[in-house]
């Protein structure tokens, strides 16, 4: 086996730059190979962009580039193995070496159905028996060359212990391009190391949809609830696959305490998995989401927002105010900030509107109209209803979908606001909505944590105008944020939730 040589450019006080996409980028060298390939991390960028590049593309950085280096530490490079402290538990030893183990991806690409996807992060897939034989058969190598001291090698049959699974991918750094591809069934998530075995499996796999029960269905899009205690192998394989695209979450293979919510898109033959999120069955911190992933081919289509909205709907129906588990990744924080801001903007639009969005005019006879609350929309005659197309993109939104909200919000709005009507010289009158509320009341009305609501309001600039400790928010300010943040209608339709 051609052994990898571990090195750290920073430890040698040497900085390098690489020309990427027409711009020079500072890099940290995490690993070198005798064939001249180097595994680099781009300074200031996420670890999912780490890659092997030819060593000839490295150039020494000049002094000005070194001064521009950020103060944040680079990912821990692979270091020579050390014997564990005899006083350390195996779990503590695993945690200590977690960064070392996951410093680089153990698969370059994953073949998933019709897609061949570049992986982002390390996932602790166990070494198969054939890989063990390959590693022991290579010149100068053995199965224990890259193993963690004191941790047993994993095989296909040892699928339970986290430490075994963490050890599973260490020797894959020497694999050729062909063997750096993982083959995963897009129906049952069974994984294979060889393309021939994968082709044989997919011809025989008859799973048409995820196990579990439907909890949401709108057109062709369905969310399935899968119990990790009932479908252990499916959920373990799903977690391993998701870890290829998730970095900050620790992966546990005891799935008994987790529920998995899997989003699929149905065709005439079967349901295709688009993404999933997981949550603990019992969370003492009321976390409504542990990890979430939308598969790369389906990103930027609103599916992540649909799952986030569904997780909050689950919390609301349980009578809890949920929040995602921390820490959040950079992509996760961006998605949740979008959700929090959009939720608040929709709420403020309803709160600061004299008339409901679906009632541009009100006609009354004999008495003045009551504008203190949000009036229900007029009943729709069955003969006048427009035929709505099925599906996702082609579905006709309801007239108030931009302002859609959970049941009971109208009463909350009516209790919080006062309508001030001022007469005009021509005999007409102008009505203004005046609201006085606390941050806690706004958070409660939108089913957000106070700290999440405060963070979102601060990020979008609505906490900037204060007078004697009171924050003033106008409808004009709300609309400016809505335009700047491109606030859209909700992806989730609560009427299609099938939770009991």
Q: Which residues are catalytic?
A: 325
Instruction: Give the chain as a 3 state SS string.
Output: CCCCEECCCCCCCCCEEEEECCEEEEEEEEEECCCCEEEEEECCCCHHHCEEEEHHHCEECCHHHHHCCCCCCCCCCCCCCCCCCCCCCHHHHHHHCHHHHCCCCCCCEEEECCEEEECCCCCCCCCCHHHHHHHHHCCCCCCCCCCCCCCCCCCCCCCCCHHHHHHCCHHHHHCCCHHHEEEECCCCCCEECCHHHHHHHHHHCCCCCCCCEEEEEECCEEEEEEECCCCHHHHHHHHHHHHCCCCCCCCCCCHHHEEEEEEEEECCCCEEEEEEEEEECCCCCCEEECEEEECHHHCCCCHHHHHHHHHHHHHHHCCCCCEECCCCCHHHHHHHHHHHHHHHHHHHHHHCCCCCCCCCCCCCCCCCCCCCCCCCCCCCCHHHCCCCCCCCCCCCCCCCHHHCCCCCHHHHHHHHEEEEEEECCCCCEEEEEEECCCHHHHHHHHCCCHHHHHHHHHHCCCCCCEECCEECCCHHHHHHHHHHHCCCCCCCCHHHECCC
Q: Bridge partners of 31?
A: 6, 39
Distance CA 249, CA 292 (A): 10
C-alpha distance from residue 264 to each of 24, 75, 216, 219, 426 (Å): 41, 35, 10, 11, 59
Burial of 347 (0-12, 13-18, 19+ CB in 10 A): buried
The count of residues in the chain is 500
Cα–Cα distance between 81 and 76 in angstroms, integer?
13
Burial level of 112, CB count in 10 A (0-12/13-18/19+)? buried
């Amino acid at each position: 086996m051609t052994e990898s040589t571990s090195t750290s450019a920073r430890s040698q006080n040497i900085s390098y730059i690489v020309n990427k996409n027409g711009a020079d980028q500072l890099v940290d060298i995490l690993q070198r190979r005798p064939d001249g390939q180097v595994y680099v991390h781009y300074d200031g960028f996420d670890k999912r962009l780490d890659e092997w590049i030819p060593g000839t593309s490295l150039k020494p950085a000049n002094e000005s580039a070194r001064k521009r280096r950020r103060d944040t530490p680079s990912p821990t490079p692979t270091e020579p193995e050390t014997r564990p402290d005899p006083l350390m538990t195996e779990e503590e030893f695993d945690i200590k070496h977690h960064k070392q183990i996951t410093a680089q991806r153990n698969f370059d690409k994953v073949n998933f159905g019709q897609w061949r996807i570049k992986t982002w992060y390390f996932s602790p897939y166990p070494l198969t028996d054939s890989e063990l034989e390959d590693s022991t058969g290579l010149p100068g190598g053995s199965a224990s060359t890259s193993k963690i001291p004191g941790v047993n090698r994993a095989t296909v049959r040892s699928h339970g212990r986290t430490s075994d699974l963490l050890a599973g991918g260490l020797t894959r750094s020497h694999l050729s391009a062909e063997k750096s591809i993982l083959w995963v069934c897009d129906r049952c998530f069974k994984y294979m190391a060889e393309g021939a075995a994968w082709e044989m499996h997919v011809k025989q796999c008859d799973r048409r949809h995820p196990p579990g029960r439907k909890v949401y269905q709108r057109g062709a899009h369905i969310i399935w609830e899968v119990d990790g205690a009932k479908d252990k192998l499916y959920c373990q394989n799903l977690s391993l696959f998701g870890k290829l695209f998730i970095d900050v979450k620790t992966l546990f293979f005891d799935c008994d305490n987790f529920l998995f919510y899997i989003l699929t898109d149905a065709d005439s033959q079967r349901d295709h998995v688009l993404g999933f999120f997981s949550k603990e069955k019992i969370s003492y911190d009321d976390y409504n989401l542990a990890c979430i992933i939308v598969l790369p081919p389906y990103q930027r289509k609103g599916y992540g927002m649909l799952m986030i909205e569904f997780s909050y709907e689950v919390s609301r129906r349980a009578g809890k105010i949920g929040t995602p588990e921390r820490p959040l990744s950079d992509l996760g924080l961006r998605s949740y900030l979008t959700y929090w801001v959009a939720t608040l903007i929709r709420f403020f639009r309803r709160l600061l509107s004299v008339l409901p969005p679906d009632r541009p005019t009100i006609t009354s006879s004999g008495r003045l109209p009551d504008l203190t609350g949000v009036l229900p929309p007029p009943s729709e005659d069955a003969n006048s209803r427009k035929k709505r197309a099925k599906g996702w993109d082609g579905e006709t939104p309801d007239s108030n979908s931009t302002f859609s909200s959970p049941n009971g919000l109208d009463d909350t709005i009516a209790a919080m606001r006062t309508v001030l009507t001022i007469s005009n010289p021509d005999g007409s009158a102008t009505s203004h909505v005046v609201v006085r509320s606390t941050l806690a009341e706004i958070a409660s009305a939108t089913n957000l944590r106070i700290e999440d609501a405060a963070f979102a309001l601060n990020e979008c600039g609505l906490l900037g105008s204060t007078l004697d400790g009171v924050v003033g928010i106008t409808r004009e300010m709300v609309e400016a944020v809505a335009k700047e943040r491109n606030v859209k209608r909700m992806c989730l339709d609560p009427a299609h939730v099938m939770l009991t």
